[in-house]
Amino acid sequence: MRLELGEIKIQDIQFADKSEIKNGVLYVSKAELEEVSEVANDDYLKSIEFFIARPGDSTRIIPVKDVLEPRVKVEGGEMFPGILNKVDTVGSGKTIALKNMAVITTGSIVGFQEGIIDMTGEGAKYTPFSKLVNLVVKVEPKEGISKANHEHSVRMVGLKITDFIGRLAKDLTPENTTVYETKPILEQVEEYKDLKKVIYVCMLQTQGLLHDTYVYGVDAKKIIPTFLYPTEFMDGAVVSGNCVSACDKNPTYVHLNNDVIKNLYKQHGKTINFLGVVITNENVYLMDKQRHSDMTAKLVEFLGADAAIVSQEGFGNPDTDLIMNCTKIEKKGVDTVIITDEYAGRDGKSQSLADADPLANAVVTGGNANEVVRLPKLDNVIGDEKAVLVIAGGSDEAILEDGTLEVEIQVITGATNETGFNYLSAKTF
């Protein structure tokens, strides 16, 4: 597949009577956004509000549900296939991405594993999303709806608004364009036959109970390990629908901008031959973990990889899937590196992962999610700051008398992201 990915940098977002992009400014009409999100016709939602959060603003967004980047397909299908649009295979043709901005959904808490984005202060240092100009969508549910319906409604509102904004760029000329190409396997191997062949194994959060990810609209709990062209990620084939801990959750923005994929492409044809991506899920039951790790290793072997990179999403139970994938791929004679983060306790002295094996001896870490930070009191809160009392990494004593928050960095969206979309790491002394 060959994808031309163009970029338009958004310098600012402003509310206006008409939605359009002019001279690097995204103008959005609240009335048009409300119409797009169809809140008035939704059986589950009570209200929707829109806010703008810019870098440096004294603004806290909590609880964060998803973060998305507007994109539009100019050629080769439609964004978010199987969810918003028909199920066409994406990953080829031309796509335009609106950079330097994001759409963020918030409102009443859906599940306890949601997060915080601070646009200034100590918390802003830990999240890449504090550097973006953000359109924040606050969605409130009607009384008595189930968490599943609440999550679905918020997710769909975020996707619809993101799709609407992306389409504003369809007739614009990108400021720059990067070409990404992955050929069918035999051609790909032959083209760079002297370079080490590398496969990326991307583990998707699929433990259910609001821990879901969608592939072409299918709940990934229902898939078996399969192959995706890397460019399919860039066109929205993989979408977040989960409330896993904020620090290591992969929001939809991260799937669209997966740093492992982007960095492997940078080395493709130079130091490595990047063959593509194997996606697999993170299971609850041991039998499923065994089956899917067996199939993942078999697929990596079949594709002829010399080396593999495995990233996980979340922690605890998925650590077992991570180690199973790693050890079984290693036993196929494939050099394997894992990307994870750590829950080593507030003092850093606890076991970092819930599982381990001597074959998992090449590890990249996004840092210790249990580290404690104090976040200053900010002037504006979009959402509900009291969510910090119940979200993972917070506590019922998180709000101090002076209004500051004492929390683990687990609460900060993207703080220890396991695809490298963060600012932290760690090393052994």
In the residue annotation, 247 being an active-site residue is answered as no
In the numeric block, the tokens 């991506």 are attached to 277
Task: Determine how many CB atoms are found less than 10 A away from the CB of residue 162.
Answer: 30
Q: What is the DSSP string of 41-82?
A: G-SSEEEEEEEEE-TT-SEEEEEE-EEE--EEEEESS-SSBT
Contact of 6 with 98, CB cutoff 8 Å: no
Task: Determine how many CB atoms are found less than 10 A away from the CB of residue 270.
Answer: 9
Active-site choice (202, 243, 247, 326): 243
Helix pair 30-37, 147-167: axis angle to 10 deg:
130
Contact of 129 with 273, CB cutoff 8 Å: no
| H helix runs in 137-285, sequence order | 147-167, 185-191, 230-234, 252-256, 259-267
In angstroms, rounded to a whole number, what is the distance separating the alpha carbons of residues 337 and 315? 17
9: closest CA among 62, 69, 55?
Answer: 69
Element (H, E) at 133: strand 133-141
Q: Which residues are catalytic?
A: 243
